[in-house]
Amino acid sequence: MPSTDISDIQQFYARHMQLLDDGAAEQWARTFTDDAVFAAPSLREPVRGREAIAAGARAAAEGRAGAGEVHRHWVGMTTLGPGVRDGIEAVSYVQILAVGRQGPPRVHLSCVMRDRLVRQDGELRVAERRITRDDRP
Amino acid sequence: MPSTDISDIQQFYARHMQLLDDGAAEQWARTFTDDAVFAAPSLREPVRGREAIAAGARAAAEGRAGAGEVHRHWVGMTTLGPGVRDGIEAVSYVQILAVGRQGPPRVHLSCVMRDRLVRQDGELRVAERRITRDDRP
Amino acid sequence: MPSTDISDIQQFYARHMQLLDDGAAEQWARTFTDDAVFAAPSLREPVRGREAIAAGARAAAEGRAGAGEVHRHWVGMTTLGPGVRDGIEAVSYVQILAVGRQGPPRVHLSCVMRDRLVRQDGELRVAERRITRDDRP
């Protein structure tokens, strides 16, 4: 993917996280590949495929609604590995702000997000994601 | 505005918010159009025009000085709508850090900022801004 | 440096801060010039040169390890001054998240970072850095 630059990837992550935070689970899942793998400390084992990824996002949105909270995922400090045949490696910091109806926002989590991004039909998509939490190094 | 890209807009917001946080109210107001409209939960009704926008920024700077606080507005996760005849729609997350002389910084507010940006004399300017607070969804 | 744009500088800072937070003190020091000057409120006088800068980063990493904490330096809202013969002036906000094994992340510090960046052998490097803390204006 020689023509992908950091600006494309920043815009991808912005749209990607706005969809997640807005609870648009199906649209969010479509920013992954069909057979994407998603590994996170909150998951006993990696989730595979868009259906499972969408289901996880729906459950998270319901949990936030039940708690009366809004979450905002900020992605930043992204570094790109050398482009390889099967995609681009992107390593980013993520901070999640949680905002309730009472009291000020709080920094809910600080994570590192390691993605392999690919282009399909001209669109960037996540093929593989591994999340680590900074409070569980 | 076909030649405006995300980098231009990031740099615009960086300068725009540094001016606000530095208390440079008049310079800040000049990053809006003459007849800009600014709507925010803290305002009973939308503010219109540079004079009113500058007055609001001056009042906010005086409030911070009285409280012995520095504010830092972070804009991120910006998505751009399709360019239209009358400007670009930009939707961003905003977090405001408040820093007093005692104790650590705190996340004062988490907001979503919906702007219509235009170019005038080659410079980006805010023509319309609507702020929503995440604690008052 | 007419060909340096904001994207280059964002990528530089992302790599620079990932190295610092990962405790890669020697690699981090190599993102400064040989004779770089580093001034910060935590230092009685400015540090000069890569050796001293690396030593400071090693000491900080040991302190974090001793406290069982991870730090994440977020750089944002960067404005660039006009390119001059001896480099580019870049003014950024910095927030440092500190994450322990207990409890949520906290915003440890909010700072302003004023850098003079130069290119050497095609690589961006910090020639001069001045940090101010927002709680000590």
The pLDDT of residue C4 is 74
* Maximum distance among all Cα pairs of chain B, rounded to whole angstroms: 49
Cα–Cα distances (Å) from C27 to A80, C17, C54, C82, in that order, read 17, 11, 8, 29
Distance between C95 CA and the closest CA of chain B, angstroms: 9
Interface check C95 vs B, CB under 8 A = yes
| Residue A72 DSSP code | E
Question: Which pLDDT band holds residue B3 (cuts at 50, 70, 90)?
Answer: low
Amino acid at C11: Q
Domain ranges of chain A: 6-133
> For the segment A86-108, what is each residue's pLDDT rounded down to a tens digit?
799 999 999 999 999 988 999 99
Note the pLDDT tens digit of each residue in C18-70.
999 999 999 999 999 999 999 999 889 999 999 999 999 999 999 999 999 99
Asked if C106 has any chain A CB less than 8 Å from its own CB, the reply is yes
Where b means 16+ CB within 10 Å and e means fewer, A103-133 reads eebbbbbbbbbebbbbeeeeebbbbbbebeb
Residues B54-69 pLDDT 10s: 999 999 999 999 999 9
Contact call for A107 and C101, based on CB within 8 A: no
- Check: CB of residue B76 under 8 Å from CB of residue B92: yes
What integer pLDDT is reported at residue B2 of this predicted model?
Answer: 43
Hey, what are A72's tokens? 């905002």
Interface predicted TM-score of the whole assembly (ipTM), two decimals:
0.94
Q: Is C120 on the interface with B (CB under 8 A)?
A: no
The upper half-sphere exposure of residue C30, i.e. CA atoms within 13 Å in the direction of its Cβ, equals 7
Segment 20-49 of chain B within 8 Å of chain C by CB: none
CA distance B99 to C77: 17
Whether residue B48 has pLDDT greater than 90:
yes
Separation of first and last alpha carbons in chain A = 32
- List the structure tokens of B118: 């235009």
- For the C6-133 domain, the top CATH level (class) is alpha beta
> Residue B12: is its pLDDT beyond 80?
yes
- Give, as one character, the DSSP assignment of residue C87: B
pLDDT digits (tens, 9 = 90+) for C97-124: 999 998 899 999 999 999 999 999 999 9
B126, B29 in Cβ contact below 8 A? no
Interface of C with A in 63-82 (CB under 8 A): 70, 72-76
- Lookup result for tokens 């998505």: B79
Chain B residues whose beta carbon lies within 8 Å of the beta carbon of residue C90: none
Hey, which residues does A73 pair with through a beta bridge? Answer: A96
Sign of torsion over alpha carbons A5, A18, B97, A115: negative
